[in-house]
Structure 1
Amino acid sequence: MADSKHSTSPCRDALDNPQVLDTEMEQKLEKKIEFSDDEESLIIRMYNLVGERWHLIAGRIPGRTAQEIQKYWNSRYSTSE
Protein backbone atom coordinates (compact mmCIF):
# COMPACT_ATOMS: atom_id res chain seq x y z
CA MET A 1 0.00 0.00 0.00
CA ALA A 2 1.29 3.48 -0.82
CA ASP A 3 2.52 5.67 1.98
CA SER A 4 -0.06 8.45 2.36
CA LYS A 5 2.60 10.77 3.74
CA HIS A 6 4.23 11.03 0.30
CA SER A 7 1.14 11.23 -1.87
CA THR A 8 0.05 14.66 -3.01
CA SER A 9 -3.16 15.94 -4.44
CA PRO A 10 -4.22 19.31 -5.83
CA CYS A 11 -6.42 19.85 -2.77
CA ARG A 12 -3.56 19.12 -0.40
CA ASP A 13 -1.21 21.38 -2.38
CA ALA A 14 -3.79 24.18 -2.24
CA LEU A 15 -4.10 23.80 1.52
CA ASP A 16 -0.34 23.95 1.93
CA ASN A 17 0.03 26.83 -0.51
CA PRO A 18 -3.10 28.98 -0.99
CA GLN A 19 -1.43 30.82 -3.85
CA VAL A 20 -1.61 27.64 -5.95
CA LEU A 21 -5.39 27.73 -5.65
CA ASP A 22 -5.54 31.45 -6.51
CA THR A 23 -3.41 30.91 -9.61
CA GLU A 24 -5.49 27.96 -10.80
CA MET A 25 -8.74 29.86 -10.27
CA GLU A 26 -7.37 32.91 -12.07
CA GLN A 27 -6.30 30.80 -15.07
CA LYS A 28 -9.73 29.19 -15.28
CA LEU A 29 -11.37 32.61 -15.03
CA GLU A 30 -9.28 34.02 -17.86
CA LYS A 31 -10.12 31.10 -20.14
CA LYS A 32 -13.81 31.11 -19.31
CA ILE A 33 -14.86 34.73 -19.45
CA GLU A 34 -17.52 34.95 -22.11
CA PHE A 35 -20.40 37.36 -21.93
CA SER A 36 -23.63 37.39 -23.88
CA ASP A 37 -24.52 40.38 -26.05
CA ASP A 38 -27.07 41.47 -23.44
CA GLU A 39 -24.49 41.28 -20.65
CA GLU A 40 -21.96 43.23 -22.69
CA SER A 41 -24.52 45.91 -23.49
CA LEU A 42 -25.47 46.20 -19.82
CA ILE A 43 -21.82 46.42 -18.77
CA ILE A 44 -21.21 49.26 -21.24
CA ARG A 45 -24.29 51.17 -20.10
CA MET A 46 -23.50 50.67 -16.42
CA TYR A 47 -19.86 51.67 -16.95
CA ASN A 48 -21.04 54.91 -18.57
CA LEU A 49 -23.25 55.57 -15.54
CA VAL A 50 -21.08 54.49 -12.60
CA GLY A 51 -17.56 54.15 -14.00
CA GLU A 52 -15.22 51.54 -12.56
CA ARG A 53 -17.51 50.47 -9.72
CA TRP A 54 -17.31 46.84 -10.72
CA HIS A 55 -19.25 45.60 -7.68
CA LEU A 56 -22.24 47.75 -8.66
CA ILE A 57 -22.14 46.48 -12.22
CA ALA A 58 -21.80 42.87 -11.04
CA GLY A 59 -24.84 43.37 -8.82
CA ARG A 60 -26.94 43.86 -11.94
CA ILE A 61 -25.74 40.69 -13.66
CA PRO A 62 -26.68 37.48 -11.84
CA GLY A 63 -23.86 34.98 -11.53
CA ARG A 64 -21.08 37.44 -12.34
CA THR A 65 -18.44 38.73 -9.96
CA ALA A 66 -16.87 42.17 -9.89
CA GLN A 67 -13.52 40.55 -10.70
CA GLU A 68 -14.91 38.80 -13.79
CA ILE A 69 -16.41 42.01 -15.10
CA GLN A 70 -13.29 44.06 -14.43
CA LYS A 71 -11.07 41.50 -16.19
CA TYR A 72 -13.48 41.34 -19.11
CA TRP A 73 -13.60 45.13 -19.39
CA ASN A 74 -9.83 45.52 -19.16
CA SER A 75 -9.19 42.80 -21.73
CA ARG A 76 -11.79 44.16 -24.12
CA TYR A 77 -11.77 47.94 -23.71
CA SER A 78 -8.60 49.00 -21.93
CA THR A 79 -6.32 51.38 -23.76
CA SER A 80 -2.58 51.29 -23.37
CA GLU A 81 -1.00 54.70 -23.41
Structure 2
Amino acid sequence: MRLANEPDQSFVQVAKNLGISGPWLHRWARKLSSQGQMAFPGHGKVGLTTEQSEMKRLQRELDIARQERDVLKKAVACLGQNGRA
Protein backbone atom coordinates (compact mmCIF):
# COMPACT_ATOMS: atom_id res chain seq x y z
CA MET A 1 0.00 0.00 0.00
CA ARG A 2 2.94 2.28 0.54
CA LEU A 3 3.71 2.01 -3.17
CA ALA A 4 0.20 3.11 -4.12
CA ASN A 5 0.44 6.10 -1.80
CA GLU A 6 3.56 7.45 -3.48
CA PRO A 7 2.76 10.73 -5.27
CA ASP A 8 4.38 9.66 -8.54
CA GLN A 9 2.54 6.31 -8.84
CA SER A 10 -1.11 5.43 -9.38
CA PHE A 11 -2.99 2.35 -8.17
CA VAL A 12 -3.13 1.11 -11.76
CA GLN A 13 0.61 1.53 -12.24
CA VAL A 14 1.44 -0.19 -8.93
CA ALA A 15 -0.95 -3.05 -9.70
CA LYS A 16 0.60 -3.51 -13.15
CA ASN A 17 4.12 -3.54 -11.65
CA LEU A 18 3.03 -6.18 -9.13
CA GLY A 19 1.32 -8.28 -11.82
CA ILE A 20 -2.17 -8.00 -10.31
CA SER A 21 -5.34 -6.29 -11.48
CA GLY A 22 -6.19 -2.76 -10.39
CA PRO A 23 -9.52 -3.78 -8.83
CA TRP A 24 -7.75 -6.32 -6.57
CA LEU A 25 -5.38 -3.67 -5.31
CA HIS A 26 -8.33 -1.34 -4.64
CA ARG A 27 -10.15 -4.10 -2.70
CA TRP A 28 -7.08 -4.81 -0.62
CA ALA A 29 -6.59 -1.10 0.10
CA ARG A 30 -10.23 -0.75 1.22
CA LYS A 31 -9.97 -3.83 3.41
CA LEU A 32 -6.74 -2.58 4.97
CA SER A 33 -8.21 0.85 5.70
CA SER A 34 -11.40 -0.59 7.22
CA GLN A 35 -9.91 -3.50 9.22
CA GLY A 36 -6.33 -2.39 9.84
CA GLN A 37 -3.93 -5.10 11.00
CA MET A 38 -6.69 -7.74 11.12
CA ALA A 39 -7.43 -7.34 7.40
CA PHE A 40 -5.02 -10.08 6.35
CA PRO A 41 -4.37 -12.61 9.13
CA GLY A 42 -2.26 -15.62 8.41
CA HIS A 43 1.28 -15.58 7.10
CA GLY A 44 1.61 -11.80 7.43
CA LYS A 45 2.55 -9.77 10.48
CA VAL A 46 -0.62 -10.65 12.38
CA GLY A 47 -1.30 -14.29 13.24
CA LEU A 48 -4.57 -16.12 13.04
CA THR A 49 -7.24 -15.37 15.58
CA THR A 50 -7.84 -17.97 18.29
CA GLU A 51 -10.99 -19.16 16.55
CA GLN A 52 -9.25 -19.44 13.18
CA SER A 53 -6.37 -21.39 14.71
CA GLU A 54 -8.80 -23.78 16.39
CA MET A 55 -10.76 -24.24 13.15
CA LYS A 56 -7.55 -24.99 11.28
CA ARG A 57 -6.47 -27.52 13.92
CA LEU A 58 -9.87 -29.22 13.89
CA GLN A 59 -9.89 -29.34 10.08
CA ARG A 60 -6.50 -31.09 10.08
CA GLU A 61 -7.74 -33.51 12.73
CA LEU A 62 -10.87 -34.24 10.69
CA ASP A 63 -8.80 -34.82 7.54
CA ILE A 64 -6.63 -37.35 9.40
CA ALA A 65 -9.70 -39.12 10.81
CA ARG A 66 -11.21 -39.37 7.31
CA GLN A 67 -7.98 -40.82 5.92
CA GLU A 68 -7.84 -43.38 8.72
CA ARG A 69 -11.50 -44.29 8.12
CA ASP A 70 -10.84 -44.81 4.41
CA VAL A 71 -7.86 -47.07 5.15
CA LEU A 72 -9.96 -49.13 7.58
CA LYS A 73 -12.78 -49.46 5.02
CA LYS A 74 -10.31 -50.79 2.45
CA ALA A 75 -8.81 -53.18 4.98
CA VAL A 76 -12.23 -54.55 5.92
CA ALA A 77 -13.10 -54.96 2.25
CA CYS A 78 -9.84 -56.84 1.59
CA LEU A 79 -10.29 -59.09 4.61
CA GLY A 80 -13.87 -59.80 3.60
CA GLN A 81 -12.84 -60.84 0.10
CA ASN A 82 -10.01 -63.06 1.37
CA GLY A 83 -12.29 -64.80 3.86
CA ARG A 84 -14.77 -65.81 1.13
CA ALA A 85 -12.19 -67.00 -1.36
Counting helix residues as a fraction of each chain, which structure ranks higher? 2
State TM-score, norm by structure 1.
0.27
The structure with more radius of gyration: 2
Relative contact order, higher structure (CA 8 A, sep 6+): 1
State TM-score, norm by structure 2.
0.26
